[in-house]
Structure 1
């Protein structure tokens, strides 16, 4: 892996158009682009005004880097769990643009999320991985994560 100089920070409002672009790429990658309904206005409202979730961005650092280029994003929120009521940091999305894969952007984003979680008193980080995404599963395992087979994700549409 190459160690490209990256800067990890919380997304600014100026970053949101590029963040939205990566969210669309993720929707393509995961196969839900037809249902993708996020607009820049909704993203700004939920992230900037309501602070519903956090967004970390990885940007290339150095003289040749453009301030609008975002290598990757990590979207997260906090959720208390009833057995200890500590806020778990839930990683909702981690996505690195294809041109930046293999340059430690994902690892840097996860490490910053871990730091933020600890600072907020979190006892655990948790996320979901597509079952067929072997590369992601291997990446997370290398970070020390373990697969939990005791639970199955379920959902129920509320739009019916």
Structure 2
């Protein structure tokens, strides 16, 4: 990823958030530039370039700096390929870039989340050798519950 990729990266990010039924998309080019190219970048991305100013896919990653193992955890936030480029090997190449990045940065593995109803993605990930984590399920404290908990005086 280079700074000139940011407009297309933002387009791809909006596409995956829409696909994931996400709301309140607040990312902007300025935020991506600040967060991705600052002195201490908060994320990185590998992109599939298909021409000047055009991207077909992305693998966005970040690191959780502190775990119980005293090692950081590499997280893939998003892997997204534009629908017209799916099945062309771009997803596998981006996963390989993530694996190379993991090895280069001293990670033995990396993790990501997948929607429970996204069978094509699950099949793709199994095809590259990934396995579903049998020990963890994601939990969320939504706004209403958060507010109740904060307001609970007992």
**Structure 2 portions without partners, runs of 5+:** 148-154
- Show the counterpart of 1:142: 127
CA distances 1:19-47 after superposition (whole Å, capped 9, x unpaired): 00011111111111x31111111111111
Segments of 5+ residues of structure 1 without an aligned counterpart are 1-10, 61-65
For 1:50-129, what aligned pairs fall within 5 Å after superposition?
50-60=40-50, 66-79=51-64, 80-82=66-68, 84-129=69-114
Q: Could you state the TM-score of these two structures normalised by the residue count of structure 1? A: 0.83
Task: Give the structure, 1 or 2, with the largest relative contact order (CA under 8 Å, sep 6 or more).
Answer: 1
Q: 1:13 maps to which residue?
A: 3
SS in 2 for 1:146: coil
SS, match of residue 55 in structure 2: coil
How does the TM-score come out when normalised to structure 2? 0.86
How many corresponding residue pairs?
143
Root-mean-square deviation over aligned CA pairs: 1.6
Normalized per residue, the structure richer in helix is: 2
